[in-house]
Amino acid sequence: MNQDLDIFQLVAHASLVVQAVLALLVLISVMSWAAIFRKLINLHRIKQQNDAFTKEFWAGSSLEELYNTAQQRSQNCGPMERIFASGMREVRKEMRERRVAEVGTVMDSARRAMRASLQREMDAVETNLSFLASVGSVSPYLGLFGTVWGIMHAFTGLAALQQVTLATVAPGIAEALVATAIGLFAAIPAVVAYNRFARDLDRIGIQQETFMEEFSNILQRKVSTLAAPAAGR
């Protein structure tokens, strides 16, 4: 009986439907773990990039120097640096055109550009998060489906027996319960990772919105200073 209840033997003797469910759950689990590790690496890189740019921003470098640096490494800079670059790009564009003295118009354009950049960055960093949520919610039901089907298959096979004992029932039930176990194995890490990543993304979003507001105040003072002589003329 111990040999019959070995998990590999159980899977090998399970029905084709249960085996298909198990194969699907294993594939989902592998994809889920791959998404988790990619997200961990991505969030760690984003945190490092944002922290490095924050230190550089408040170290006293001029906005023009920071903007030129961001332009040079546009492919390798972090989300916060790209938000900064989008605001600076819009201000430079507006100041080159006709509304030099209209501080409010310039700042509205800069804020819209930074808000759009922030939304793009958050959309990019949230990639695969919905997949983890789907895995966490669907995998237990897939496992339950495999279990129900396996139990139905087991009892159908027992119907032809004259005498049914625990030794004859146990292997079929165990085969079916393996699907539930694999479903939970796929779902639990996905749910834990989703909750962790959702919390990290909220923190990153708040950090970037705070920077955007602080940078907007600095930009407004700079634009007011540049616009004052033009208004006097």
Q: Pick from 117, 135, 126: which is nearest to 43 by CA?
A: 126
pLDDT at 73: 82
- The number of distinct structural domains making up the chain is 1
pLDDT < 50 stretches in the chain: 1-4, 99, 232
Query: Six-digit token pair at 79?
Result: 């989300």
Q: Tell me if 197 is assigned to some domain.
A: yes
On the 0-12 / 13-18 / 19+ scale of CB atoms within 10 A, 9 is middle
pLDDT at 138: 93
Q: Tell me if 31 is assigned to some domain.
A: yes
State which residues form the domain around 57.
7-232
Q: Which residues contact 66 (CB under 8 A, 6 or more apart)?
A: 56, 57, 84, 88
From CA 230, how far away is CA 106, in angstroms rounded?
14
pLDDT at 41: 94
Q: Tell me if 186 is assigned to some domain.
A: yes
Could you report the per-residue pLDDT of 97-134, keeping only the tens digit for each? 754 557 788 888 889 999 999 999 999 898 889 999 99
Q: Dmax over Cα atoms in the chain, in whole Å? A: 106
From CA 142, how far away is CA 190, in angstroms rounded?
15
From CA 21, how far away is CA 61, in angstroms rounded?
58
Query: Six-digit token pair at 187?
Result: 């779902």
Q: How many helices (H) and strands (E) does the chain have?
A: 7, 0
Count CA atoms within 13 Å of residue 187 on its CB side.
16
Residues 42/197, Cβ–Cβ less than 8 Å:
no
Q: Pick from 141, 145, 130, 138: which is nearest to 193 by CA?
A: 130
pLDDT at 168: 61
pLDDT at 170: 66
Residue with tokens 């090998």: 12
pLDDT at 1: 42
Q: What is the DSSP letter of 209?
A: H
Q: Tell me if 203 is assigned to some domain.
A: yes
Strand extents, DSSP E, the chain: none
pLDDT at 99: 47
SS3 content of the chain, % helix, strand, coil (to 5): 85, 0, 15
Global pTM reads: 0.80
pLDDT at 3: 45
Q: Tell me if 59 is assigned to some domain.
A: yes
Q: Tell me if 2 is assigned to some domain.
A: no
Q: Tell me if 148 is assigned to some domain.
A: yes
Q: Tell me if 1 is assigned to some domain.
A: no
Q: What is the DSSP letter of 161?
A: -
